[in-house]
Chain A
Amino acid sequence: MQLNLLSQWALSPVRHFRLFYQFVRQEFSGQFAGSLGGFLWLFVTPIVNIIIYSFVFSVVFRAPIPENFGDVSFVIFLMIGYLPWFAFADAMGRASGLLLEKAPLITKVKFPVQLIPMVGTLVPYLVHGIAFFVFLVYLAFNGYVQVTWLWLPVALGLQFLFTMGLVAILSAFCVFLRDIQQLVALMLTAWFFMTPIIYPLSLLPEAVRPFMLMNPMHSFVQFYREAILLGEFSLPHFEIMTVSALISFFIGGWLFMRIKHAFGDVL
């Protein structure tokens, strides 16, 4: 029974591929429908954010060149952490409204509802994946290419699964408790500053660093930096990433599948 729920969850994008594809298409182009800039915003938003952060940290606060990553500018250091985080935060931020927005559909049409958190996660990852890809191309032209870059798709895939599980839980809980929407925004801000994205881990006191291992996003960010800048494959980080991704994906999916039949009663 429980296994059945899990396989239904994990396989639904394959089983309902047509619908999944139509949803993704709809959400993806829906983000730009009616806006003048269209796809331009995909690039403008992260670039503007990067400029702001690098101004604040390298000009105002004069953050030191991060240790242990060789001779790399702070902006590149920042972007490697910031772009994947942005995908994560965007997906999480939308999660709470996902099912509420689709309420008319969920109550009037029978379809695999689990596709909604999946699509809701995939679309931000596609959007920000483009920005990340452009950034990698830029790095490649500046001679940063490493063999370990081949691990990046795997790592991003794990981060995607990790996010999807959390999005499923958040979106489902929000149907019952709308306060979660406010909570998520607060939580994301806190999480952002607790993850060494705009500062290097070396700035943290020694005593605090071990606690970072409890933050999977820290492992993701560190893994990207080490793989991209140093060409190193960090097994401890990779283990944390894999375990947290699988736990999140399956527990989130299981919870979602277990309470989805009640959505119709509440929405």
Chain B
Amino acid sequence: MHSIAVENVFKDFRIYARPQDRLLELLLRKPRHRDFHVLQDISFNVLEGKSLGIIGDNGAGKSTLMKLLVGTLQPTRGSVDIRGQVAALLELGAGFHPEFSGRRNIYLNASLLGVPDDDIEALENDIIAFSELEDFIDQPVKTYSSGMYVRLAFSIATMVRPDVLVIDEALAVGDIAFQKKCVQRMNEFRKQQKSMVFCSHSMYHVQELCDTALWLEKGRIREIGPSEDIVARYEDYCNSRRVYTTGEAHANEHANDKVLAGDAAEAPAVKDCRIIHTVMRDVDGNEIREVEPLQEVILELKAEVQNDAAHCYFGFALMQDLEEIVSSYLATDRPDVENGPFKKGEIITVQVRLSAMTLRVGKFHVLGGVADDSGLLWYETRLSKEITIKPNKGLGPYVMPSTWDVVRDMSNTEDQSSSS
């Protein structure tokens, strides 16, 4: 059973030369506009209990698509069919009245989502507890910070238990601790067979929270598929484009650093080096996504050099939850590692061999990075796919390479005295 079905949806925005033309057209039904195609031929389904991530550049039509799903915009052609109750977080506290307390706003917001008052009373305490705003809930929301706003809005939208949750970039505001709570809650949500549509620039969240990802480009679906694949391809695309298309704009900033050798037409790329991939391999050279404790592994980074005579420092880090560095390996600390000058077009493969994986539980990513010749500015980083540590016996987060000895000394025992 699908809970969201979008079929051949087109959305045009009408551009009017004069504001009154819009009104005249509505009343007289005679066209007076130019069309701007925001979305073209969008079709997808979201099954019950599944989640969809929408990614794409600014202006690709993500917000418009979200508004169509919520129903505040009507498609020009095609159909949007949503089963069940929708709760949306398209803007932080869109329904909040700034003069009223958080508590009053809970009631107003929940009635906007269609929840009866009695149910809101039952949920009120849960909402307040989840938002961690106990001390401020009776203050007017105009005194809230934007982080507090989003906490309250998110708590309300998820507590009212909608069948479909539509979230636009809302996680970006809360602090990291609250973001974690949100992610947990959204995962619970999926377990309850509810559907979710999530639009974000945080590729990590899309990858972690969504089964499927939809990549919008200029109003069309460029790709739709398993979120990990789509995110990886989108990141590839972003990385390559960042260098080639925005390169010139930024080139001026770096112009002082380099002496242009006569040929002004060929402006140097901003980044000396572009990372192609970061992976983890076993000792046989196979890429791995699962690792056993104490296994010997290789961290690999492949990069393409974009400028001649480039000096680059490479580095790796193992990251948990994408913010916590577990351990790091930096070429800047190692004078023996080659750091250039490299030639333009050269492909460099950097490998760091870790003789034993001492993490015992959990998941992590490998972060590969390139720094400039000062070794301070890490201008490009690239995450590997998520790597899981295989389940194993033991306690605690770490395991060290270990050897055992049992030494027996019997010189003081009674046995010995009796026998001699």
**B91 contact set on A, CB distance < 8 A:** 104, 108
Q: How far is the CB of A32 from chain B (nearest CB, A)?
A: 9
Contact residues on A (Cβ < 8 Å of other chain), bracket: 20 to 34
Bound CA–CA A21/B107 (angstroms): 11
Find out whether the CB atom of B111 lies under 8 angstroms from the CB atom of A22: yes
Q: How far is the CB of A15 from chain B (nearest CB, A)?
A: 11
Stretch among A160-168, A223-231, A232-240, A258-266 lining the B interface: A258-266
Stretch among B12-20, B128-136, B241-249, B345-353 lining the A interface: B12-20
**B23 contact set on A, CB distance < 8 A:** 173, 176-177
- Which one, B71, B97, B114, contacts A26 given CB within 8 A? B97
**B19 contact set on A, CB distance < 8 A:** 176-178
A107 within 8 A of B: yes
| Chain B residues touching A, majority SS | mixed
A19 within 8 A of B: yes
**A33 contact set on B, CB distance < 8 A:** 99-100, 140
Assess A108 versus B100: contact at CB under 8 Å? Given A177-B23, A265-B14: no
Find out whether the CB atom of B100 lies under 8 angstroms from the CB atom of A30: yes
A34 within 8 A of B: yes
Please, which residue of chain B has its CB at the minimum distance from the CB of A258?
A: B26
A72 within 8 A of B: no
Q: How far is the CB of B289 from chain A (nearest CB, A)?
A: 39
- Which one, B13, B88, B104, B108, contacts A108 given CB within 8 A? B88
**B111 contact set on A, CB distance < 8 A:** 18-19, 21-22
Contact residues on B (Cβ < 8 Å of other chain), bracket: 20 to 34
Find out whether the CB atom of A104 lies under 8 angstroms from the CB atom of B94: yes
A208 within 8 A of B: no
Assess A18 versus B67: contact at CB under 8 Å? Given A105-B95, A173-B23, A177-B20: no
Q: How far is the CB of B249 from chain A (nearest CB, A)?
A: 32
Assess A108 versus B97: contact at CB under 8 Å? Given A19-B112, A22-B108: no
Bound CA–CA A22/B108 (angstroms): 6
**A265 contact set on B, CB distance < 8 A:** 13-14, 73
Bound CA–CA A258/B25 (angstroms): 13
Given contacts A23-B108, A108-B88, list 18 more A-B pairs with CB under 8 A: A18-B111, A22-B107, A22-B108, A26-B108, A30-B99, A33-B99, A105-B94, A106-B72, A108-B67, A108-B90, A109-B88, A109-B112, A110-B86, A111-B112, A173-B23, A176-B26, A258-B26, A264-B73
A interface residues (Cβ-Cβ under 8 A, vs B): 18-19, 21-23, 26, 29-30, 33-34, 104-111, 173, 176-178, 258-259, 261-262, 264-266
